[in-house]
């Protein structure tokens, strides 16, 4: 059974389009995240939601809008796609933090977005 799943796995689209990436976790975790890994392989957090509420919003263009309909889902919608948005986007989830910062994050398989 897949713990953290993302769809689609690959997304090729034209500049200016709007697209969404979906993420679901069946681990019962309260917190979910979106990360971006660029061509230089640098993995950086974009957003974090805890039980459907936004708790981390890094410096990300407002063309990116996360939506959490319930705590098992965190979708990422991107408006007006630009060439620089091409990257691999990873969703992740983590259980409640019992000891500060000690919880593991479980990553989805990634969505490879290519903007032409």
Instruction: Name the site residues for other proteins (rule: CB under 8 A).
Output: 31, 33, 40-45, 48, 50, 55-56, 58, 90, 94, 97, 100-102, 104-105, 107-110
Least distance from C-beta 66 to other proteins, angstroms? 14
Distance CA 56, CA 5 (A): 21
Instruction: Quote the least distance from Cβ 12 to other proteins, whole Å.
Output: 16
Question: Could you tell me which residues come within 8 angstroms of residue 70 by beta carbon, excluding any fewer than 6 positions away?
Answer: 52
Least Cβ distance, residue 19 to other proteins (angstroms): 20
Closest contact distance (angstroms) between CB of 109 and other proteins is: 6
CA distance 88 to 78: 14
Residue 14: phi, psi to the nearest 5? -90, 155
85: helix, coil or strand? helix
Q: Return the number of the residue (69 or 101) whose C-beta is nearest other proteins.
A: 101
Could you tell me which residues come within 8 angstroms of residue 40 by beta carbon, excluding any fewer than 6 positions away? none
Between 14 and 104, whose beta carbon lies closer to other proteins?
104
Between 58 and 82, whose beta carbon lies closer to other proteins?
Answer: 58
């Amino acid at each position: 059974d897949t713990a953290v799943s993302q769809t689609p796995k690959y997304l090729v689209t034209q500049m200016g389009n709007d697209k969404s990436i979906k993420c679901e976790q069946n681990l019962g975790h309260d917190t979910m995240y979106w990360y971006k890994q660029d061509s230089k392989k640098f993995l950086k957090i974009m957003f974090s939601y805890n039980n459907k509420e936004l708790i981390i919003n890094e410096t990300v263009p407002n063309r990116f809008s996360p939506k959490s309909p319930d705590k098992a889902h965190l979708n990422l919608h991107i408006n007006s796609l630009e060439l620089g948005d091409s990257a691999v986007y990873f969703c992740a989830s983590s259980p409640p933090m019992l000891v500060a910062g000690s919880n593991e994050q479980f990553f989805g398989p990634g969505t490879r977005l290519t903007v032409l």
